[in-house]
Amino acid sequence: MVGVGLIGTGFMGKCHAIAWNAVGTVFPDVEKARLVHLGEVNDELAKRKAAEFGFTRGSGDWRAVVNDPEVDVVSLTTPNQFHPEMAIAILDAGKHLWCEKPMAPSFAEAEAMAKAATKSGKAAVLGYNYIQNPAIRHIGALLEEKIIGDVNLVRIEMDEDFMADPEALFFWKHEAASGYGALDDFAVHPLSLIKVLFGRVARVMCDMAKPYADRRVASGGRRAVETYDIASVLMHLENGVAGTLLVNRSAWGRKGRIALQIFGSKGSILYDQERMNEFQLYLTADRPTEQG
């Protein structure tokens, strides 16, 4: 039976705990995971969250989770800036790793994590869950068939409104230590779709913007926002396809929207994750009365 550790119990930590608890229900042919050890910033919070999430024990030191001999795999769901040190320690300890996105705030740190994963020989997975969407997989199969011919333009957008309120409190994702903002904390999801469907990005030109210069802090006053909630990117992919990427964490009314438009020489494909079980297909091979 696989022993699970969890470091971090915020929004994504809770998601990972729910997922581990559901393994036996969703995959009845797989042995249920054993939730062993949870780590948080202090013992009181760790023990309370361990009881809530169903873990045997909780510790206020994340290293206790890493060094626990009963833990085989660790879910790492802490703020972005803590990923590199913790991920490398987990892999060096001989544990499998499920690390939330984004991988790290800097390219050098991500490279160090990848090197540690290769050296460890353990499974190291990042949380790019949208690439597993059945509609996305079907779109990928159609692209492999060249059903819309040669692709010449990819346009992709991602919007959410969890930072849309100008009076919402300052959050750790507003700190420069967490990364650039929407471009790396957020845009890694649409970029994962581009990588899976079309390949790597070769060249970019980017503009980033802050809709709100500062935020309220709980103790009073305001603090300057250090990251960018909006980013607009022009891209050329390695295969020659042109692309645009537009992302916004402050888009009122959007709840996880990823809009993908793919234009080819023989048709187009349109997809919107807010209607995640369908996509639109336009083929020039169809009769004019049925096209689109």
Per residue in 9-35, pLDDT (tens digit) is 999 999 999 999 999 899 999 888 999
Tell me whether residue 102 is exposed, middle or buried, using C-beta atoms within 10 angstroms of its C-beta: 0 to 12, 13 to 18, 19 or more: buried
Q: Quote helix, strand, coil % in the chain, to nearest 5.
A: 35, 30, 35
What are residue 36's phi and psi, to 5 degrees?
Answer: -95, -55
- Using CA atoms, how far residue 88 sits from 36, 97, 205, in Å, is 20, 9, 31
Question: What is the architecture of the domain spanning 3-127?
Answer: 3-Layer(aba) Sandwich (3.40)
**Under 8 Å between Cβ of 69 and 92:** no
Distance of CA 141 to the CA centre of its chain: 23
Q: Do residues 5 and 75 touch, judged by C-beta distance below 8 A?
A: yes
Distance of CA 33 to the CA centre of its chain: 23
Residue with structure tokens 């819309």? 148
- pLDDT above 90 (res 256): no
CATH topology of domain 130-283: Dihydrodipicolinate Reductase; domain 2 (3.30.360)
Is 90 exceeded by the pLDDT of residue 269? Answer: yes
Q: Answer whether residue 290 shows pLDDT above 90.
A: no
Give CA–CA dist 83/230, Å, rounded: 23
Strands lying side by side in the sheet with 73-76: 57-59, 34-39, 3-7, 73-76, 96-99, 124-126
Tell me the residue ranges of DSSP E strands in the chain. 3-7, 34-39, 57-59, 73-76, 96-99, 124-126, 151-160, 201-209, 214-216, 222-224, 230-237, 242-248, 255-264, 267-272, 279-283
The C-alpha atoms of residue 129 and residue 275 are separated, in whole angstroms, by 16
pLDDT classification of 157: cutoffs 50, 70, 90: very high
Per-residue pLDDT at 101: 94
Can you give the residue ranges of every domain in the chain?
3-127, 130-283
Integer Cα distance of 84 and 74 in angstroms = 14
Rounded Cα–Cα distance for residues 102 and 110 (Å): 9
The pTM of this model reads: 0.89
For residue range 167-192, list pLDDT tens digits in order. 999 999 999 999 999 999 889 999 99
In the numeric block, the tokens 């295969």 are attached to 239
- State how far Cα 38 lies from the chain centre: 21
To the nearest whole percent, how much of the chain has pLDDT over 90?
Answer: 93
Mean pLDDT of the chain: 96
Q: Look at residue 1 in the predicted model and tell me its pLDDT.
A: 87
pLDDT score of 289:
87
148's CB contacts (< 8 A; 6+ apart) are 142, 262, 263, 264, 265, 266, 267, 268, 269, 281, 282, 283
pLDDT digits (tens, 9 = 90+) for 33-91: 999 999 999 999 999 999 999 999 999 999 999 999 999 999 999 999 999 999 999 99
Q: What is the pLDDT of residue 149?
A: 98
pLDDT band at 277, cuts 50/70/90?
very high
